[in-house]
Amino acid sequence: MTSDPAPPPAKSALDLIGHTPMVELQGFDTGPCRLFVKLESANPGGSIKDRIARSMIEAAEADGSLKPGGTIVEATAGNTGLGLAQVGVLKGYRILLVVPDKMSREKIQHLRAMGVDVRITRSDVGKGHPDYYQDMAERLARDIPGAVYINQFSNPANPAAHAATTGPEILEQMGGDVDAVVVGVGSGGTLTGLGRFFAQASPKTKMVLADPEGSILAPLINTGKMIQPGSWIVEGIGEDFIPDNCDLSFVAKAYSIPDAESVAAARELLTKAGVLGGSSTGCLLAAALRYCREQTEPQRVVTLVCDTGAKYLSKVYNDSWLAEQGLTKRELHGDLRDLIARSASEGGAVTVGPDDTLLTAYNRMRQADVSQLPVMDDGRLIGLIDESDLLEAVEDSKPDKRFAQKVSAAMTAKLETLQADAPLDALLPVFEKDQVAIVLDGKEFLGLITRIDLINYLRRAA
Short-list 108, 257, 121, CA closest to 185: 257
Contact at 8 Å (CB) between 84 and 118?
A: no
Contact at 8 Å (CB) between 186 and 236?
A: yes
* Alpha carbon distances (Å) from 50 to 80, 100, 378: 7, 20, 52
**H, E, C per residue of the chain:** CCCCCCCCCCCCHHHHCCCCCEEECCCCCCCCCEEEEEEHHHCCCCECHHHHHHHHHHHHHHCCCCCCCCEEEEECCCHHHHHHHHHHHHCCCEEEEEEECCCCHHHHHHHHHCCCEEEEECCCCCCCCCCCHHHHHHHHHHHCCCEEECCCCCCCHHHHHHHHHHHHHHHHHCCCCCCEEEECCCCCHHHHHHHHHHHHHCCCCEEEEEEEECECHHHHHHHCCCCCCCCCCCCCCCCCCCCCCCCHHHEEEEEEECHHHHHHHHHHHHHHHCCCECHHHHHHHHHHHHHHHHCCCCCEEEEEECEEHHHHCCCCCCHHHHHHCCCCCCCCCCCHHHHCCCCCCCCCCCCECCCCEHHHHHHHHHHHCCCEEEEEECCEEEEEEEHHHHHHHHHCCCCCCHHHCEHHHCCECCCCEEECCCCHHHHHHHHHCCCCEEEEECCEEEEEECHHHHHHHHHHHC
The single residue of 49, 107, 311, 315 carrying the catalytic annotation is 49
Active site residue 49: yes
Contact at 8 Å (CB) between 385 and 332?
A: no
Q: How far is CA 200 from the centre of its chain?
A: 34
Short-list 140, 149, 153, CA closest to 239: 153
R_g (Cα) of the chain, nearest Å: 25
Contact at 8 Å (CB) between 185 and 148?
A: no
Catalytic site positions: 49
